[in-house]
Chain A
Amino acid sequence: MNKVYIYKAYERFWHWTQMFIVFLLLFTGFEIHGSYQFFGYEEAVRYHEFAAITFLVLVVFTIFWHFATDEWKQYIPTVKNMKDQANYYLFGIFKNAPHPVRKTQLSKLNPLQRLVYFGLKVVLIPLLIFTGLLYMFYRYEHQGAIESLNIDGLETVATLHTLGAFLIIAFIIAHVYLITTGHTVLSNLKAMLTGYEEFEDDNEVEKKLTASQSAEEEAETVNE
């Protein structure tokens, strides 16, 4: 078994803070949406706005970090190995096949992760932030009394913001499940907590490869 340092301290801090804030945003957001009552509408709005501003601060810091450390490059989508990774999730994983892409400190994301996280960071979160800011700072044009963002109605902004929120939920569900697909069920989670992730060492990879190949052959002979 190998242990590799994957997630740096800031990254872990950022990840867990973001998780907490996004949960708060979701929970208060859907209360504002009218889906249930928990904090009370007034409080939900207050918490949502507070969480949103905290989130913005975190996002600004994190963007800075990504560029300062060149980590942003990890999110550039690539098609290399993408098919292998898809094959792994669709077939290999059931046969205990080895992971097709090795995680290293320089490449912590597999090609599918790159694509999804890229979408998250470039489309979904900016969508939520942009519509959220409009939601927060739009003003009715009113006899010149307040001059800033003038919008005729909230409908489009709110609808897009809500759509984003639903997609975030879907992302979280898939995300939470996919972290169980590491070397062991918990190895990804541990990595985000401690920074170190356990991987198959070369021996294990070898073993898995032969095992899954022989399983395939077996299956073929059965088919015959």
Chain B
Amino acid sequence: MKKIFIYLLVINIIIIALVVILTKNQTRETVLQGLQKEYSVRETSSVDHSKFEILQKPFANPQDATAACLTCHTGRGEEMLKSAHFLWSREEYVEGRGITNVGKKNLLNNFCIGIGTNEASCNRCHAGYGWNHKSYDFTDQKNIDCLVCHDNSGKYTKKNGGAGMPDDSVDLNKVAQNVGKPMKTNCGSCHFYGGGGNNVKHGDLEDALLTSGTDVDVHMGYDGLNMECIDCHPAEKHVMKGKLYAVSSMNRNRALCTDCHTSMPHKETIINEHSLKVACQTCHIPTYAKVNATKMYWDWSTAGKLKDGKPYHEEDSMGNHSYLSIKGDFVWGKNVEPEYVWFNGTANHYLVGDTISDTTQVVKMNQLYGSYEDRDAQIIPVKIHRGKQVYDKKNKVLIQPNLSDSVEGNGAFWTDFNWQKASQKGMEYIDQKYSGDYGFVHTEMYWPINYMVSKKESAVSCIECHSRDGRLKNVSGFYMPGRDFNTFVDKFGLIIIILTLAGVLGHGLLRILSAHKRKK
């Protein structure tokens, strides 16, 4: 009788254990596996553009190529004319400002500062042709550059200092016959090189992503799914999903990890719950600038020094410029641990003409809003690019200097090395007052980190934040186990323990002494 019970018990335990183990393994990886399957299939184009006659006839200029595209792709021109890639501006609601246009036309940064007077150089990355003056015609569809995004031949480049015109070497017919969906190389041709060089601005977006493995980025690594940018940033009527808070302000149309991965991708509930307050990127991007260095600090105030009347440069140990006469001092960083801030998806920006309330304080070129109390806010990783840049001491505004010019003597800083003239010229061009009294002020710009997602094994571990001096040591407003403690309770607790110990030891000692005495 007893034996039967034991048999039944053992068999039941085995069955239950099997069911538990098997069902666990079944459910665990479906989301990820599903995504892997979905994104491993590559679409192929349904048409062969090289067969189209209109694309075989020579183009007199790039605008003609655009016109040729639009003969078939009707309506796309209107879409592009309204897109941020073409307008470099978005109409957005900004807390404290109301509805404003925000974009490179009216905001400044702490890299090359602003585009006014520098269009020929900066606007090389405009998805259009010939924006070399503020009077540019944003209503002419022929000004749209279709090829920079849709070239699949890899041969299309834009001319240095050419205000968005293609390089003289480009065979427009060849490119036009090899168009397709944008690839990493297309997006990267601008987005990797912001700030005047590879990885200068973002830190997590650079040309090494074209050739690196999943150890650098799990999504784009060649030994993984080798995903394209548009897999996560699909476009709807030429409006890309997602945007960067260096130039935008509203919590809308964002590309989020959870769009694909769901909001509960971990098997441990405690980690899923973290996502209410912690963005995925915070744990899954332990470091950025994993391959090439990124610019962390830019001091414009030292620019303009010459050797024998000529500009010069110096390099740091990694071979990056640490000084350039035209730009000043730089500090670069590689494998950088991000800083962390609260962010609710809305941001403010320094717009041309904003007065600086306190010039002894650091000016925020963009301010990410959010706090612990904010239900929409999460802790996100950021690169903070710090700098020192020119401002008007009397009017208390940041100066938009004229930096580049094709000839010497017109007042551009990069040719003439004179802040006074460069400031005057730049401010006049953007219709701002300039007092003639310039100085340098500290600035900060916040770059949310979204790429170079590490393999899950290398994600940030608990202790890296849950410790006294961990990654989140500067993120305030809440109690975090392992980092925070109540000073009074900790002191009081220690004192109580010491007093109890002392009492017990004293009492014990007296007992031993008195017993000793009694024996005598």
Contact = CB atoms under 8 A, between A and B. Distances in A.
A27 interface: no
B489 interface: yes
Given A152-B373, A177-B507, A158 B496 contact: no
B155 interface: no
B509 to A, nearest CB: 11
Interface in B351-369: none
A166 B493 contact: yes
B83 to A, nearest CB: 30
A33 interface: yes
Interface in B467-498: 467-468, 478-486, 489-490, 492-494, 496-497
B11 interface: no
B497 A170 contact: yes
A140 B479 CA distance: 13
Nearest to A171: B500
Interface in A94-108: 94-96
B483 A34 contact: yes
A174 interface: yes
Interface string B373-405: 101000000000000000000000000000000
A140 B463 contact: no
Contacts of B499: 170
A27 B274 CA distance: 24
B518 A215 contact: yes
Interface string B506-517: 011011001100
A173 B372 CA distance: 39
B377 to A, nearest CB: 11
Nearest to B477: A153
Kindly state the interface size class of chain B when it binds its partner.
35 or more
Contacts of B466: 32, 34, 41
Contacts of A167: 493, 496
Interface in A143-193: 143, 145-146, 152-155, 158-159, 162-163, 165-167, 169-170, 173-174, 177, 180-181
B327 to A, nearest CB: 44
A153 B478 contact: yes
A143 B376 CA distance: 8
B515 A96 contact: yes
Contact of A162 (B270, B493, B496, B500): B493
Given A93-B511, A141-B375, A166-B489, A154 B496 contact: no
A32 B518 contact: no
B125 to A, nearest CB: 37
A142 B504 contact: no
B375 A96 contact: no
A41 B482 contact: yes
Contact of B276 (A42, A140, A177): A140
Contacts of B492: 163, 166
A210 to B, nearest CB: 13
B486 A162 contact: yes
Contacts of B504: 173-174, 177
Contacts of A177: 504, 507-508
A12 B170 CA distance: 88
20 contacts: A33-B485, A34-B467, A34-B481, A40-B462, A40-B463, A41-B463, A41-B466, A94-B511, A140-B273, A142-B276, A142-B375, A143-B375, A154-B478, A154-B480, A154-B481, A158-B479, A158-B481, A158-B486, A167-B493, A174-B503
Given A159-B486, A166-B493, A174-B500, 7 more contacts: A41-B461, A141-B375, A153-B372, A162-B489, A162-B493, A163-B489, A169-B497
